[in-house]
Amino acid sequence: MGRIRVLSDVVANKIAAGEVVERPASVVKELLENSLDAGSSRVRIDVEAGGRRLIRVSDDGSGMLRDDALLAFERHATSKLSDVKDLLSIATLGFRGEALPSIASVSRLTLETRSPDETTGTLVEIAGGRIVRCEEAALAQGTIIAVRDLFFNVPARKKFLRSEQTELAHIAQLATHYSLAYPDKAFELRHQNSELLYVTPVTAIRDRVFQVFGSQVMEDLVELPAVTRDITIDEEDENGTRFFRLRGFVSRPQVQKSNRNSIFLFVNGRMIRDRLLMHALNAAYASLIPGNAFPFALLFFECSPEEVDVNVHPSKTEVRFRRSGFVHDFVRDAVRSVLTAARPVSSLPLAPVPRQGAALPYSEFTQKLEDFRYTEHGPAQPEAAPEAAPAGALPDFTLREPRRFSPGRLDFSGPAIAPEGPPVQTAPPPVRSKRVPDTHGALPEGLAAEPSPSLEVLRDLRPIGQLHDSFIVAAGPDGLWIVDQHVAHERILFEKVLRQMGSGQVERQSLLMPILLELNATQQVEYSRIATELEAVGFEIEPFGQRTISVKAAPADIGLAEIERAILEILDLAEEELRHGSFEDVRRDMAASIACRAAIKINMALDMTKMRWLLAELAETEFPMSCPHGRPIALRYATREILKGFHRI
């Protein structure tokens, strides 16, 4: 080992950049935060090649004085903190003084800035951490920082970047996030020549939500009016009053998202990914939505600055609360009470769904907290015991489809049925009795031996009737079958769509009136990524203005009312899928989504002809035993079990 040396600033900054600058979106985040801290009222972000080639953030904020413009690139140079004491109550988004030197050390950066106190502005150019140019320039008030060729001098980092579209999606998500937190400011995000986000200042968050997500999403949301709690602290080393406030928007329980991307959390105006708040939100939705679904939520949590430590992580996306138990329960209860109030009277109580991470008491949760690690999706959820069924709960036949598709569950290559074990789920055997079997009366023919269930029998199913207008009850040579009509049809359509896509001959319906769909920034990015896939599955879509698409045709089976939702769902799933999976997975998700939208619903009366048709079609499918989401399609109550139940064998 050599002698100890103090690292040069260039090296130290590059090391810090490893933590602060993970990807283009982290650069956008730091620059955006600086613009907001500078009191800007308009912020514009221009991006090229997903941020790899160019990220430019322009604002009309306070600008910097000549001397400050250079100082800003010194390590730990900040105008926002002067004392350790300040760290205890941070009111700005930045405070570490690390961002600019870090970014400048791994890119070619140009700063153009002018403060109202000086008549001319300053231009500074830095490449790989070394100052190339610094001169006077005629500039408007405000700051423009352009970051080019990110990671040009860190090839290892560059390799880790995802595709342009993925990086752009992260940037879009981030800009959306901040635009929601600052409704009184104008935000603009442009990629090459297309406008992904453009919002003008409004006074209420509600209006900003409308600007960003449109009226459809707005209808699905319930407003959470500000709830405030004050606590008085009278302890040895500190006393005084502390406040906690929560407001925002949460989705009605019928809205279910397949990932956490629609959860926007803010703590004192700062965008964060916090497992404590995430858990509190989940807990509020416990038993209202299935365990694998997520709500849409926009939560603004505010508290006395002393109550939260934002200096936990270099990228400032994590926080630590001093009174975490209190904060957790406060948030959970506030969200839950607004949800309870918003539940439509007509809905039946939901069947209890074992829900991960929700039923866990907070104390157990904190123990597990230590084991958590952030993944790209946010925190893993703790295991939780299923909730007990509320007394008298009716099964809910209006339950939505779980929208999460787990790629591992679908098997297109293997045999239709596992070689060992029964191919169908059998009903649980009845309780055994010690009584001697009653052998009076002959056994139905051919049942002396254990029948081996075979998919062939599907062809011989004879529908007897329908249970709750949702399940087909059928007699088969080997027992009684109960078939879930929705998932059965879903499977039939799913295979049909996949087949048609494979052969390039999709059936489509032309719409008399095109459907216009306004997309938010993330959706626009996803749309351009999968436009050809959407076409391959039967959609005919054209851009219509900057942020709107016009749907002219759709796959044949989807009802008009479902087209919009299907597209939005596909865009949502594509984002999730393309992060880890491939276009192949996207295609399968699309087929599953279309199938689900087009399939016969539950709570729908079917006549005998329809039931017969459905069973016959199901028999023709390749994998008739599970729906595209991996749920079982049929339950079989084997004749043998029936006989045992009646003590006939």
Q: Which residues bind ligand ADP (CB under 6 A)?
A: 30, 34-35, 38, 59, 61-64, 72, 77-80, 94-100, 143
Q: Are 225 and 235 in contact (CB under 8 A)?
A: no
Residue 62 contact among Mg ion, ligand ADP, none, beta carbon within 5 to 8 Å by kind:
ligand ADP
d(CA 276, CA 524): 31
Q: Which residue is nearest to Mg ion (CB)?
A: 94
Residue 15 Cβ vs Mg ion, minimum distance, rounded to whole Å: 18
Residue 63 contact among Mg ion, ligand ADP, none, beta carbon within 5 to 8 Å by kind:
ligand ADP
Query: What angle (nearest 5°) sits at the alpha carbon of residue 122, between those of residues 117 and 125?
Result: 155
* Closer by beta carbon to ligand ADP, 100 or else 339: 100
Which pairing describes strands 221-234 and 239-251: parallel, antiparallel, or unpaired?
Answer: antiparallel
Residue 493 Cβ vs ligand ADP, minimum distance, rounded to whole Å: 53
Q: Are 271 and 244 in contact (CB under 8 A)?
A: no
Query: What angle (nearest 5°) sits at the alpha carbon of residue 464, between those of residues 458 and 468?
Result: 105
DSSP H helices, 183-237, are 205-220
Report the first-to-last Cα separation within the chain, whole angstroms: 81
Stretch that binds Mg ion, among 95-103, 399-407, 518-526, 605-613 (CB under 5 A): 95-103
Residue 131 Cβ vs ligand ADP, minimum distance, rounded to whole Å: 15
Question: 3-state DSSP call for residue 481?
Answer: strand
Phi then psi dihedrals of residue 315, to 5 deg:
-85, 0
Residue 211 contact among Mg ion, ligand ADP, none, beta carbon within 5 to 8 Å by kind:
none
d(CA 189, CA 193): 10
- Is 476 a residue that touches Mg ion (CB under 5 A)? no
* Closer by beta carbon to ligand ADP, 1 or else 138: 138
* Closer by beta carbon to ligand ADP, 87 or else 227: 87
Q: Which residue is nearest to ligand ADP (CB)?
A: 94
Residue positions counted in the chain: 649
Question: Smallest Cα–Cα separation from 465: which of 607, 625, 639?
Answer: 607
d(CA 158, CA 257): 32
* Closer by beta carbon to ligand ADP, 100 or else 497: 100
Residue 610 contact among ligand ADP, Mg ion, none, beta carbon within 5 to 8 Å by kind:
none
* Closer by beta carbon to ligand ADP, 229 or else 313: 313
- Is 34 a residue that touches Mg ion (CB under 5 A)? yes
The C-alpha R_g of the chain, in whole angstroms, comes to 29
Residue 97 contact among Mg ion, ligand ADP, none, beta carbon within 5 to 8 Å by kind:
ligand ADP
| Residue 359 DSSP one-character state | S
Stretch that binds Mg ion, among 94-102, 535-543, 553-561, 605-613 (CB under 5 A): 94-102
* Closer by beta carbon to ligand ADP, 34 or else 122: 34
* Closer by beta carbon to Mg ion, 77 or else 417: 77
* Closer by beta carbon to Mg ion, 34 or else 287: 34
- Is 94 a residue that touches Mg ion (CB under 5 A)? yes
Question: Smallest Cα–Cα separation from 55: which of 179, 146, 175, 126?
Answer: 146
Residue 64 contact among ligand ADP, Mg ion, none, beta carbon within 5 to 8 Å by kind:
ligand ADP
Stretch that binds Mg ion, among 54-62, 86-94, 343-351, 590-598 (CB under 5 A): 86-94
Question: For residue 596, what are the CA distances in angstroms to 41, 535, 591?
Answer: 45, 18, 8
Residue 62 Cβ vs ligand ADP, minimum distance, rounded to whole Å: 5
* Closer by beta carbon to ligand ADP, 35 or else 166: 35
d(CA 19, CA 164): 21
Residue 96 contact among Mg ion, ligand ADP, none, beta carbon within 5 to 8 Å by kind:
ligand ADP
Residue 120 Cβ vs ligand ADP, minimum distance, rounded to whole Å: 16
Phi then psi dihedrals of residue 327, to 5 deg:
-60, -45
Task: Please enumerate in sequence order all residues whose Cβ is within 8 A of that of 406, keeping only pairs 6 or more positions apart, or say none.
Answer: 629, 630
The sheet that has 425-426: what strands, in order across it? Answer: 425-426, 634-638, 479-484, 471-476, 462-467
> What would the two tokens of residue 402 be?
């779980």
Stretch that binds Mg ion, among 92-100, 162-170, 233-241, 375-383 (CB under 5 A): 92-100
Q: Are 94 and 37 in contact (CB under 8 A)?
A: yes
Residue 95 contact among Mg ion, ligand ADP, none, beta carbon within 5 to 8 Å by kind:
ligand ADP
For residue 555, give the H/E element and its range.
Answer: strand 548-555
* Closer by beta carbon to Mg ion, 34 or else 520: 34
Residue 96 Cβ vs ligand ADP, minimum distance, rounded to whole Å: 5
Other Cβ atoms within 10 Å of 30 Cβ, number: 25
* Closer by beta carbon to ligand ADP, 129 or else 382: 129
Residue 35 contact among Mg ion, ligand ADP, none, beta carbon within 5 to 8 Å by kind:
ligand ADP
Other Cβ atoms within 10 Å of 549 Cβ, number: 23
Question: Smallest Cα–Cα separation from 455: which of 409, 415, 407?
Answer: 415
- Is 104 a residue that touches Mg ion (CB under 5 A)? no
Residue 61 contact among ligand ADP, Mg ion, none, beta carbon within 5 to 8 Å by kind:
ligand ADP
Residue 301 Cβ vs ligand ADP, minimum distance, rounded to whole Å: 22
* Closer by beta carbon to Mg ion, 99 or else 281: 99
Q: What is the dihedral of CA 253, 257, 258, 260, to 10 degrees?
A: -110
- Is 99 a residue that touches Mg ion (CB under 5 A)? yes
Other Cβ atoms within 10 Å of 411 Cβ, number: 12
Residue 21 Cβ vs ligand ADP, minimum distance, rounded to whole Å: 11
Residue 59 contact among ligand ADP, Mg ion, none, beta carbon within 5 to 8 Å by kind:
ligand ADP
Residue 164 contact among ligand ADP, Mg ion, none, beta carbon within 5 to 8 Å by kind:
none
Residue 144 Cβ vs Mg ion, minimum distance, rounded to whole Å: 16
Task: Please enumerate in sequence order all residues whose Cβ is within 8 A of that of 11, keeping only pairs 6 or more positions apart, or say none.
Answer: none
Residue 265 contact among Mg ion, ligand ADP, none, beta carbon within 5 to 8 Å by kind:
none
Residue 541 contact among Mg ion, ligand ADP, none, beta carbon within 5 to 8 Å by kind:
none
Q: Are 631 and 419 in contact (CB under 8 A)?
A: no
d(CA 20, CA 103): 8
Residue 173 Cβ vs ligand ADP, minimum distance, rounded to whole Å: 21
Residue 68 Cβ vs ligand ADP, minimum distance, rounded to whole Å: 6
Residue 643 Rama label (left phi>0; alpha psi -120 to 50; beta): alpha
Segment 477 to 516, residues that bind Mg ion, using CB under 5 A: none
Residue 288 Cβ vs ligand ADP, minimum distance, rounded to whole Å: 40
> What would the two tokens of residue 440 be?
């009076």
Number of residues near Mg ion (by CB under 5 A):
3
DSSP string, 304-327: -GGGEE-TTSTT----EETTHHHH
Residue 453 contact among ligand ADP, Mg ion, none, beta carbon within 5 to 8 Å by kind:
none
d(CA 127, CA 106): 8
Binding site for Mg ion (CB under 5 A): 34, 94, 99
